Chain A
């Protein structure tokens, strides 16, 4: 999709604001006021990269400069926006299949605030004292713990946690395992490894962590899934499997749900997760001798 379209601004070449675009003769570029436009901008059909921005002198045109500032502002807000936990739990209660799991348990990590969260990843991996007590009210013994963590983008959780969970539970009802799913746990100011602390406390067989990923300029709403079989405090990344970039413009909720269930079933067979669990749910890679030519080198077989 075109970056500008996504951000709600106008298309290349202006027009609606009254400026006139003059296209010069072949080989010459178009100019709009002081801006030299780039005829290769139409290659954006191949990429979301900000190619063909045009230039004022050799600097960014005003519109492109300000569009970038808007995208950065959105990504920054996604990092610092607190999770609206009331709104999230209300949405979870309203989603029929999620509501059946039981009331979400609300927890906090040992981090005091966002600034400390950013400086102290270790504290974001641990529960505070009140949360450890609160966790005593439920159990996931022999079953699955679902842990929702704000991570670096509460926006991703706010937008995408409920649709993903709904898709996953739909699939689970049709093709799942004979395992209980505990009431979901929502943790504020949490890092990925919080799933180990929660999973261990609940004596869960597996934990599924939904977490807001580091936001990019073009993807402030990206949700990640981290899956761990036999979660326990002190595990490293090598015991986790990750599914990334879950969002409407990225990996679909249905596909993410399918891969999560795949990981769960494979882990149940080998009773572990992480590097020993190879994700073969993704299509195999392109063969080593395949030649694929880009538009830059295609169509010159005569040489």
Chain B
């Protein structure tokens, strides 16, 4: 089933050459699709495309593949993994009817979980394109994805944070200073994850050991990760480094992943290697993936598919490997893909919704670069909306300023703001640890002790007052 779509509106006939074109033109406006020459000509064409898309049967996405099966291993993963029985409850619906079902009370936590193997990323992307922000929030909030390694992430009423202690020269004391800052502000239950400034196997091993020692020494119920290439991590594991989580940036097409220098087989091999270490205590989700709209276009690997649909396909890659965490780095790529705060906020909500509906533990790097038309207020808005949507985790960095990657993301203070206004606790094992260490005060709420907890004061006292 292929072919063009027509829609007559007043005295005008709109034609969309194929499903891929219809999807792109129905996408809420963003600079990346315009750069790729895929977006609607004007606001009316976009609205008509959305009306047209709403009438497309979900079944059509199983037959009219946006990227051919024989050309792309991500398409093969999606098609081969599709479960017709799980799909049955919505198999007769159009995209528009699917939106209504998702919003209905019939789509509760259990029904949404059963549906997951029956959904493809293209169906999920399609319905997101005709949803308002409040729809994206409401439905995502009903999805529950729970994962485990040394703690339990994604439970109702919980919200986790990654400590991102980056340093421009990977100085161990500089990194440790940011880790301590984060822990003392109650952050770090999702992961302590470093983007290394020097990206090679030796450095990744060194940083893994350093974090493992901190986690052991203070008995922190969390996990570490060095965000280096999957092949580097595999070598680290083979060399005996204490690797908790395997990281990789993933995209939604085989060509994107090829530009990142890996295949799905590489991810499977690294996952097996990490599982063999048996370092998890309460579970064995050992993968950490990062994604972001625009990566396929940036790699000239998008096959004429809009950037949001490519992004949703990346979650199909992620879901295949049972990750602990998936993070959409929404504002990092720059204004040629997401121009301003308005587009970044929309994309963050879309990504979170699509990820959760497909069943991945979706978090968000709520962030922006200095050449984007965005500021801290936009980030306040996005993190608050994501908190309401039940987002799994976000980043935490001292004072929002990543001094290595030169962009702004959420701070340790930001996470405490969200906890206060939405009543969101950290992962239970980590929450207990924070209280045991006298970082959070016991009882309800999120008040911090004022002094330096005894458990850390000895380490700090060992640092001389002056350099």
Contact = CB atoms under 8 A, between A and B. Distances in A.
Nearest to B399: A50
A44 B185 CA distance: 16
Q: Among B177, B420, B457, which residue has the most Cβ atoms of chain A within 10 A?
A: B177
A50 B398 contact: yes
A300 interface: yes
A222 to B, nearest CB: 8
Contacts of B171: 46-47
B462 interface: yes
A47 B371 contact: no
A291 B375 CA distance: 40
A175 interface: no
Nearest to B402: A216
Contact of B172 (A31, A120, A218, A292): A292
A210 interface: no
A43 B177 contact: yes
Interface in B425-450: 446-448, 450
A78 B459 contact: no
Given A42-B463, A43-B180, A218-B401, A296 B217 contact: yes
A216 B451 contact: no
A215 B417 contact: no
B242 to A, nearest CB: 12
Interface stretch (A11-19, A52-60, A262-270): A52-60
Interface residues of A, number: 64
A50 B214 contact: no
A51 B369 contact: no
A28 B371 contact: no
A177 interface: no
B162 interface: no
Contacts of B467: 45
Interface string B355-391: 0000000000000011100011000000000000000
Contacts of A216: 370, 401-403, 406-407
B401 A50 contact: yes
Contacts of B403: 47-49, 216-218
A27 B239 contact: no
A58 B412 CA distance: 9
Interface in B187-205: 198, 200-203, 205
Residue of A40, A53, A285, A286 with most partner-chain B CB within 10 A: A40
Contact of A119 (B167, B175, B336, B452): B336
Contacts of B214: 294, 296-297
A59 B417 contact: yes
B400 interface: yes
Interface stretch (A68-76, A125-133, A139-147, A201-209): A68-76
A46 B454 contact: no
Contacts of A58: 185, 413, 416-417, 420, 446-448
A219 interface: yes
A299 B176 CA distance: 14
Contact of A118 (B178, B181, B335, B465): B335
Interface in A91-122: 118-122
B407 to A, nearest CB: 7
Contact of B376 (A68, A78, A218, A222): A68
Nearest to A31: B450
Nearest to B205: A288
Contacts of A8: none
B213 interface: yes
A39 B110 CA distance: 48
Contacts of B206: 286, 288, 290, 292
A76 B201 CA distance: 36
B213 A214 contact: no
A58 B419 CA distance: 10
Interface string A281-295: 000011110111111
B433 to A, nearest CB: 16
Contacts of A287: 202
A53 B399 contact: yes
Question: What class of interface size applies to chain B in its complex with A?
Answer: 35 or more
Contacts of B176: 46, 294-297
A131 B333 CA distance: 30
Nearest to B408: A217
B371 A51 contact: no
Given A46-B173, A68-B401, A218-B403, A79 B420 contact: no
A36 interface: yes
Contacts of A222: 406
A298 interface: yes
A120 B198 CA distance: 30
Contacts of B149: none
A152 to B, nearest CB: 5
A38 B184 contact: yes
Interface string A65-88: 000110110011011000000000
Contacts of A299: 459, 462
Interface string A148-182: 00001000000000000000000000000000000
A44 B413 contact: no
B273 interface: no
A22 B306 CA distance: 58
B422 interface: no
Contacts of B375: 72
A43 B398 CA distance: 12
B184 A118 contact: no
Contacts of A64: 399
A145 B72 CA distance: 42
Contacts of A121: 35, 336
B209 interface: yes
A40 B413 contact: no
B460 interface: yes
A87 B371 CA distance: 24
Contacts of B463: 42-43, 295
A235 interface: no
A183 B445 CA distance: 66
Given A27-B454, A297-B213, A118 B459 contact: no
A46 B420 CA distance: 31
B339 interface: yes
B370 A214 contact: yes
Given A29-B450, A214-B371, A286-B202, A47 B406 contact: no
Given A285-B198, A293-B213, A294-B175, 10 more contacts: A28-B451, A44-B177, A49-B166, A49-B178, A50-B399, A122-B35, A217-B401, A285-B202, A288-B239, A296-B456
Interface of A: 24, 27-29, 31, 36, 38-40, 42-53, 55, 58-60, 64, 68-69, 71-72, 75-76, 78-79, 118-122, 152, 214-220, 222, 245, 285-288, 290-300
Q: Please name the 5 residue pairs, one residue from A and one from B, whose CB atoms are nearest each other, closest first.
A: A50-B399, A216-B406, A294-B176, A47-B174, A58-B416
